[in-house]
Amino acid sequence: QVQLVESGGGLVQPGGSLRLSCAASGSIASINAVGRYRWYRQAPGKQREFVAAITSGDGTIYTNDVKGRFTISRDNGKNMVYLQMNRLKPEDTAIYYCNAERAEIPVVSYWGQGTQVTVSS
């Protein structure tokens, strides 16, 4: 199995920046079996929503709400995934979760415990 731990959350003013990190750990075989990583977020009283994804080939996709402001990246050597967030808005306030999906059968989805991001003046 793969364990995911998010970090880098905190309090930031509107227009500020924050960089989230997701550290993956586990067996080499399990980590290598991950096909793509995703970032999700969930605000109080709202459903969890997709934010960004990155494939093993470094292809990326973003939700329209963050496109142009957020950048997802990965460092395979360190087994790390990042989410650079710029020009933050109060609407970005949420718990951000890292997700990893196994590319092989059976498909397994892994989740971290989340990191809180609060955008407020």
Tell me what pLDDT residue 57 has: 85
pLDDT-derived band at 51 (thresholds 50, 70, 90) equals very high
Report percent pLDDT > 90 for the chain.
91
Are the CB atoms for 5 and 96 separated by under 8 Å?
Answer: no
Beta-ladder partners of 5: 23
- Rounded mean pLDDT, 87-101: 98
The whole-chain average pLDDT of the chain stands at: 96
Are the CB atoms for 111 and 24 separated by under 8 Å?
Answer: no
Helices (H) and strands (E) in the chain, counts: 1, 11
pLDDT-derived band at 52 (thresholds 50, 70, 90) equals very high
Dihedral over alpha carbons 8, 12, 17, 22 (to 10 degrees): 20
Q: Is the pLDDT of residue 47 over 90?
A: yes
Tell me what pLDDT residue 56 has: 85
pLDDT-derived band at 63 (thresholds 50, 70, 90) equals very high
